[in-house]
Structure 1
Amino acid sequence: MPTTIVCDESGYEGEKLVGGVTDVFAHASIRLDEETAAACVAELRDRIKSPATMYKANHLLRAKHRATLLWFLGPNGPLPGNASVFVIDKTHFLITALVDHLGARPATIPFLYDAYRRTEEARAFLDAANDYLRAHETAVLPRLDPLLPAIIRAAEYWSDGTPVHIAHDRQTTLSPARITALRQASPAIAAIDQLDSFVDHRVQIADFLAGITYRIASGYLNGAGDPEVTAALAPYVDPQSLWITPWLSAVASA
């Protein structure tokens, strides 16, 4: 029987990579059984004591629950050896696709990225470039959709040479045609099913990890780094994440 991994994301806006609400995309994959995941959610409820019907990452990220957040990510929590998170700097992702589309030199990537961070003109240019590339996309697996390479990478990360079964939180973008194309694109994918986060505790755990990573990475991009949580996240951040800033280096050396 193939290994089953359960996935969820945070910061997803489809092919809209700049000029939207989020600047980071985080895709978490976990290898936990439902019983273990349910026990973890119960532990979080006992620690946080919120009446919310369903917990999200923002519950863990509140200052008063700092100890619970560090427990969740730490060696006594459920994640060591059972979790990975793939992180994408969405601006970097767009610029890389644009440079590849134009056949420009790779050195153009850091130049455009730096300009985007500093000038309104570069931001307007990349916003228009994003719209242009989206309008001219015809592939079943669009180049600008970060969810698709993230799913492929999750399968590759967890595969021991045999394909893995992916159970993903429901996403309208995961049409039958795209699921078929993803399986054809990666021999590491045995199957892709979609789950309801309201009834599957494994999806909730993946949602926590993705949401925490999104918030911490986005904070770093915007001048609000959190070294303690960054260090706690370090064991889970996929080294093949698509990132250009020093934050990923900080994670790798933590």
Structure 2
Amino acid sequence: MTWNRAQGERGAGTAAARGAGAARDGRFVEVACDESGSDGENLTGGNTDVFAHAGVRLPMDTAAECLREIRDRIRSPAEEYKANHLLREKHRAVLEWLLDASGPIHGRSHVHLTEKAYFVVDRAVGLLLGDDDSDDAVTLFRAGPGTFGAERWREFLAVSNRLLRVRGSEGDPPVDAFFRTVDGLWRAHPGTEAADVLRRLAAARPRADAYRARVEDTPDLIPLLNPLPPAVVRTAAYWSAGGATVNLVHDRQNLLTPERIAWIEESARREGIALGGLRLVESRLDARVQIADFLAGIARKIASDELGGRGDATLTALLRPYVGAESVWGDPDSWSRLGPAAENAVRAVDINTGV
């Protein structure tokens, strides 16, 4: 696993190794992308607990035919179909057809999942402790709720989110609020694994002060807490792993400014990922992006249900072949069912991406 703390960027070493020889065979592939569950930097108080980024490699005519088939099967008068149409119980058969191994997108699609609460913990620990191969984020995330209690754990997640977010932090100075909470928690539960991690976080205030100063001085800083840019990089890594250069076509997003697209392309280059470029389009004008929108929304809902103990075993099993092994996921039970293989459960926690 590679991690450049000074730049605030992490990438999977395996992806870098795979991508080192990418594009040498001269092939190019184009992949259409979209996301679901974006709450910007508000990862602990938003509307969703999972972020999903989907990439679909389909010819335009095949994607258009898939859309027509979905419309014929659902027969809704809506002008634009969304994932919610397929997630309705009365359209369950259409959803299963789309995800099935014999369906139109199987083997041609990929989903990168992010468990938002774990993402916040991972970023906070990474910023403050700076240990390349540390399991501290995993330890804290898994032990924290049981050690501190649900209410105090939610408080820790909230102050961590405030510390890291670039915009919209109000009330007490975020650094003060974070370290006041951390200090109180570790002192109240000495000798526990979770408190040991927090004790070391409490000693890292200079790093937090430096980060907040950087935020103030650089208002256009790439948001550390937004999962979209690293998800795009991981999508490019997946599709270029076979040796081809990947060109991404993405639904328009306010976050994907020219400067941030340049950051994504540069990050991919440093990892040895053969990303040829990233182009933004209107989803209604590209059938492939609409299919990616379906898949991202479906994946987010299925993964969120699994995370919350409401999982549908049939749908989870259908989604599993699409889920990327480098997804950012901290909950071991749900990942054992969502992950592409049981042996990847720990790997998905340990190999995470960052901005």
Q: Same fold (TM over 0.5)?
A: yes
The alpha carbon displacement at 1:140 in A equals 4.1
Corresponding residue number in structure 1 for 2:178: none
- The answer for the alignment partner of 1:200 in structure 2 is 286
Provide, for residues 114-147 of structure 1, a one-character-per-residue CA deviation record: whole Å limited to 9, x for no partner: 5458512221221122111114345743321100
2:334 aligns to what? Answer: 247
Shift in Å at residue 77 of structure 1? Answer: 1.5
Q: Does 1:142 align with 2:142?
A: no
- Is residue 125–residue 136 contact of structure 2 (8 Å, CA) maintained in 1? no
Distance 2:139 2:116 in 1: 14
Alignment partner of 2:308 out of 207, 219, 222: 222
Q: CA–CA distance in 2 between the matches of 1:134 and 1:223? A: 29
CA shift for structure 1 position 108: 4.9
- Residue 180 of structure 1, aligned match among 257, 262, 280: 262
Contact 2:53 2:296 in 1 (8 A): yes
Q: Counterpart in 2 of 1:48?
A: 74
**Structure 2: gaps of 5 or more residues:** 1-26, 167-211, 343-355
Give 5+ residue unaligned stretches, structure 1.
none
Which of 148, 154, 165 does residue 247 from structure 2 map onto? 165
SS at match of 1:184: helix
Corresponding residue for residue 152 of structure 2: 121
Answer yes or no: is the 8 Å Cα contact 1:17–1:23 preserved in 2: yes
Distance 1:185 1:62 in 2: 39
Opposite residue 57 of structure 2, the aligned amino acid is R
Q: Which amino acid aligns with 1:211?
A: G
- The answer to whether the aligner puts 1:36 opposite 2:36 as a matched pair is no
TM-score normalised to structure 2 length: 0.68
Shift in CA distance, 106/69, structure 1 to aligned 2, threshold 3 Å: same
Alpha-carbon distance between aligned partners in 1 of 2:98 and 2:109, rounded to the nearest angstrom: 12
User: Which residue of the other structure, out of 153, 163, 167, is the alignment partner of 1:132?
Assistant: 163
Tell me, yes or no, if the aligned pair for 1:92 and 1:113 is still in contact at 8 Å: no
Normalising by the residue count of structure 1, what TM-score does the alignment of the two structures yield? 0.93
In structure 2, what is the Cα distance between the partners aligned to 1:156 and 1:108?
A: 24
Picking from 230, 236, 244, the partner of 1:155 is: 236
What's 1:109 paired with?
A: 138
Inter-partner Cα distance in structure 1 for 2:258 and 2:101: 38
Task: Give me the whole-angstrom Cα distance separating, in 1, the residues matched to 2:236 and 2:91.
Answer: 32
Q: What is the SS of the residue equivalent to 2:254?
A: coil
Greater share of helix? 2
Residue 189 (str. 1) matches residue 220 (str. 2): no
When residues 116 and 16 of structure 1 are mapped into structure 2, their CA distance, relative to the original with a 3 A threshold, is: farther
SS of residue in 1 equivalent to 2:283: coil
- Shifted more, 149-158 versus 107-116: the winner is 107-116
Describe the superposition over 1:38-62 as per-residue Cα deviations: whole angstroms up to 9, x where unpaired: 1001000110111011111111111
Tell me, in whole angstroms, the C-alpha distance in 2 between the residues paired with 1:54 and 1:7: 17
Counterpart amino acid of residue 260 in structure 2: R
On the 8 A contact 1:112/1:122 being kept in 2, the answer is no
Partner-residue secondary structure (3-state), 1:235: helix
How far off its partner does 1:107 sit? 3.5
Matched residue SS, 1:12? coil
Map 1:226-241 → 2, pairs under 5 A? 226-241=312-327
- Measured after TM superposition, the shift of residue 182 of structure 1 is 1.1
Superposition deviation, residue 113 in structure 1: 4.7
Whose Rg is larger?
A: 2
- Paired residues of 1:140 and 1:181 also in contact (CA < 8 A): no
Counterpart amino acid of 2:97?
W
Q: Which amino acid aligns with 1:158?
A: W
Q: CA deviation at 1:161?
A: 2.6
For 1:161, the aligned partner's letter is G
Partners in 1 of 2:122 and 2:341 — Cα distance? 25
One-letter amino acid matched to 1:225: G
Number of residue-to-residue matches in the alignment: 254
1:66-85 paired onto structure 2 within 5 Å: 66-85=92-111
- In the alignment, what sits opposite 1:92? 118
Considering only aligned residues, what root-mean-square deviation do their CA atoms show, in Å? 1.9
